[in-house]
Amino acid sequence: MFVVMQSLAKEFHSQAVLDMLKNIPDLTWIPGIPEKFRGLSEEHVRRSFIPKMGSFINEKTHLIGAAPASFSWVEEKPECILVRDQDSCGSCWAFSSVGPFSDNRCISGKDAKRVTYSEQYMISCDKESNGCSGTYHLSQPQKFLKKTGVPTDKCVSYKSINGKCPTTCDDKTPLVLYKSTNFEDVCVNEESIKVALTQGSVQTSFTVYTDFMYYTTGIYQHKFGAQEGSHSGVFVGYGEENGVKYWIIRNSWGPSWGEAGYFRIVRGINDCDIENACYLASV
């Protein structure tokens, strides 16, 4: 019965939509059907993102300073930057919170080399968020990092489930929690985000439209489709190609998706609300 039901489930991707996207003139990105999602049902694909996040009025920090014309932590500190895979749990909110915490402890020298901290602990223990069903606003996991903290992934490894909040490491040794010291919403304008990026990687969120799920490479800009939900990722850099300015965003769908786990999106026009709210955590 399970096999029959799976075969009847409607696939998310369609050749008709793909053909239409390929015929949009002057498209700055190449549409296709990512292997990660090929043949999967609408329900399965939508597990990779979360319902649309709430809208909050945040106190913002306008960062002012010098920022280069282009910048990328992937090039500057490749040993500190890592693409992870959230699998079938809607845990992008945890990966985009804990990921920069891991990056920035390495970038700042707080850790001698990159240590991967535990997204699973946050998913299981942050009761103000909703585990694999997402969070309502990205400030909440930032508050958790500051108040409670997380252990290393070696202590509590990723299991792609909600799970019970652990009181010991997986091997029953004592938990040691690491905290951030502060966090700031630096999404005031393009320049503020650029300055923030010279200090570390920055958590953000964006609206997922149908066409984003056809992204393979290039500089994404929303052109077609309805809102499918929300997703969160990490600003790791910015640049310009053929006169088109872009942000570099790390995703949490593994290194085989997009541009080795990253995507570029047009910069400076708040495409898909990606410049609405973004957090730089102090480590």
Positions annotated as catalytic residues are 92, 231, 251
Distance between CA atoms of 249 and 1, rounded to whole angstroms?
Answer: 40
What is the amino acid identity at position 229? G
Distance between CA atoms of 150 and 118, rounded to whole angstroms?
Answer: 6
What is the amino acid identity at position 261? G
Running DSSP on this structure, what letter comes out for residue 215?
E
| Selection from 130, 83, 89, 87 nearest residue 102 by Cα | 83
Q: Which backbone phi and psi does 180 adopt, to 5 degrees?
A: -85, 165
262 vs 5, 82, 212, 217, 276, CA distance in Å?
33, 10, 13, 9, 20
The angle subtended at Cα 210 by Cα 18 and Cα 161, nearest 5°, is 120
Rg (CA), the chain: 19
Total Cβ atoms within 10 A of residue 74: 18
